[in-house]
Amino acid sequence: MNPSTAIARRLVSALVGAGVEHVVYCPGSRDAPIGYALADAEAAGWLHAHVRLDERSAGFVALGISKSSAGLRHPAAVVTTSGTAVANLHPAVLEADAAGVPLVVVSADRPHEMWHTGANQTTLQAGIFGSASRFDAEIPAGFPADGRLDSLVLRAISAATGVLTYDPGPAHLNVGFRDPLVPDDSWRPTHIPRRHIEPYGAEHSESTQRRPAVGDGTPLSMPPRTVVVAGDGAGSDAQRLAEQGGWPLLAEPTSGARAGSHALTNYQAVLAGSLVKDVDGILVMGHPTLSRPVSRLLSRSGVTVVTDRARWTDVAGVARVVSGPARLIDVEVDESWLSRWLDADQPVGLTCKQEICDVIWQASARRGAPQLVIGASDVIRAFDIGAVPQRESPHAVANRGLAGIDGTVSTGIGHALGGGCPVRVVVGDLTFAHDATALLTGDTDDDVDVQVIVLDDHGGAIFGGLEHAAAPRPVLERMFLTPQCLDLSALAAGLGAHHCTVASSDPTRLHEQMRRLLAEPVHGRRVVEVSLPPV
């Protein structure tokens, strides 16, 4: 077979053998050899291929797939052609880096002899993602399609999953292809060549986790007047430690710990009161990013961070770091400490958006509810203030690595594809406008079950709560709020998605409409426009 076909087929075989189950493919000429190989591998049942036109969206779809299904063992891969196609992946790569999400980028390239010649769609792609990438490999055109290629792919997968470094993130394989780019024959893959690097002490089982049992965790002692701050991805251990220690739990919506009798609702308001001066210990888990009151709290002394990654959040730069999971020792409970915080947590004066977010939160906490994906900016902060903790936390996720609004709908679609379950994405009107075309689906692709709830308050509401709100109204609107002339119904119809509107001047009626809508199953692509008062 011709060299480009041989490399592409061996590359796909090596990706699958190292654990890749989903590949997002962006059509192009230079990456066509990989496209042919992916089609044959999917026909053989080796993997799931998802075709996306927009590389920026494709990167976030792959990111969502990795976050939903993979953990450390099965990162998604995204494949692009040469030129600007590769650069369009940069936002998703940066988010994967900051959030510690495994992601494998495979970019097709022109052969080396075409570099520095002005040839069409030719740029220097090697190292294009800079320090964000955990591993970069340049695979020149004509590279041997043998075990040496397998080894490079295994290095990339191990770096992306962080199986040896405890620092997962993106990895980049830049592959050169010479003409011909079309295979000479058909390919019928048979046996998958399994090749993994197992974590230390792990059994050879798909269900194995590398973390030790809780009873074998790192001993941890904290003062009686401790608060637990659970940021994005903290997990249920944060709730467990707070309840064992008798401490208040300040849990962000995507922490996985905003539940139980110790979790506060509007802890931001409580932190503005006098209780904060009595705090002797601060236990941090996950990646807290949402509020300035929490950032001020974390800038104090007495912070302890529990982490199972090689990177952790330490605002002041002086925190004590404990390898997770942790188990409490020498527990001394101050019976009045928790009750003082719970008594102070009296949410009042919620906005319409915050109340709607609580309605969505309660619906998402029900068994069998769609996966909840929350957009950045003001929407996730509305959840953080208004979402009342329940017995169990909804499975809520967000792109909190760099907290950008871009790619949110694409990330939600990735969760639906990777998790194989319906997804509910909640965004503001600007976040939706930024990524609405992610809902576009090819005629030959399977539909996804994604409900996008657009909380439309006509602009960037987050600026209304920042110091910029004091700007003259014309400046505030034009430079910050930026309301758009956008017909969501027409846009949804153009993308082939169902659209409906929820609107009422009566809050009680609005909430009831939302509850009825949220009780319905999610099928296909749906856009729910919730009309809210402007900022």
pLDDT digits (tens, 9 = 90+) for 167-187: 999 999 999 999 999 999 999
Confidence class for position 470, pLDDT limits 50, 70, 90: confident
Q: Which residues pair with 371 in a beta bridge?
A: 423
**Mean of per-residue pLDDT scores for the chain:** 92
Confidence class for position 477, pLDDT limits 50, 70, 90: confident
The answer to whether 534 touches 473, Cβ cutoff 8 Å, is: no
Helix then strand count (H, E) for the chain reads 17, 19
DSSP-assigned states of every residue in 185-199: S-----S------PP
Cβ partners under 8 Å of residue 19, min gap 6: 73, 74, 75, 157, 161, 196
Half-sphere exposure at residue 458, Cβ-oriented, CA atoms within 13 angstroms: 9
pLDDT of residue 198: 67
Q: Which residues pair with 530 in a beta bridge?
A: 455, 502
Give the H/E segment covering residue 476.
helix 473-476
pLDDT of residue 461: 77
pLDDT of residue 69: 64
CA distance 34 to 319: 47
pLDDT of residue 209: 40
First to last CA, the chain: 62
Share of the chain above pLDDT 70, in %: 96
**DSSP SS3 for 502:** strand
Identity of the amino acid at 276: V
Residue 204 predicted with pLDDT over 60: no
The mean pLDDT value for 43-53 works out to 96
252-309 pLDDT tens trace: 999 999 999 999 999 999 999 999 999 999 999 999 999 999 999 999 989 999 999 9
pLDDT of residue 205: 38
pTM over 0.75: yes
The mean pLDDT value for 219-241 works out to 96
CA distance 42 to 397: 29
Burial zone of 270 (CB within 10 Å; 0-12 exposed, 13-18 middle, 19+ buried): buried
Residue 212 predicted with pLDDT over 90: no
The answer to whether 224 touches 279, Cβ cutoff 8 Å, is: no
Cβ partners under 8 Å of residue 393, min gap 6: 236, 239, 251, 255, 256, 257, 258, 259, 365
The mean pLDDT value for 463-470 works out to 81
Q: Starting at the earlier edge strand, list the strands of the sheet with 281-285.
A: 249-251, 226-230, 281-285, 303-307, 320-323
60-91 pLDDT tens trace: 999 999 998 645 578 999 999 999 999 999 99
Residue 215 predicted with pLDDT over 60: no
Give the H/E segment covering residue 418.
helix 408-419
109-147 pLDDT tens trace: 999 888 888 888 888 899 999 999 999 999 999 999 999
Tokens of 350: 């919620």
The mean pLDDT value for 380-409 works out to 95
Give the H/E segment covering residue 356.
helix 352-364
CA distances, 88 to each of 56, 57, 82, 96, 105 (Å): 5, 9, 11, 14, 12
DSSP state of 462: G
CA distance 386 to 233: 19
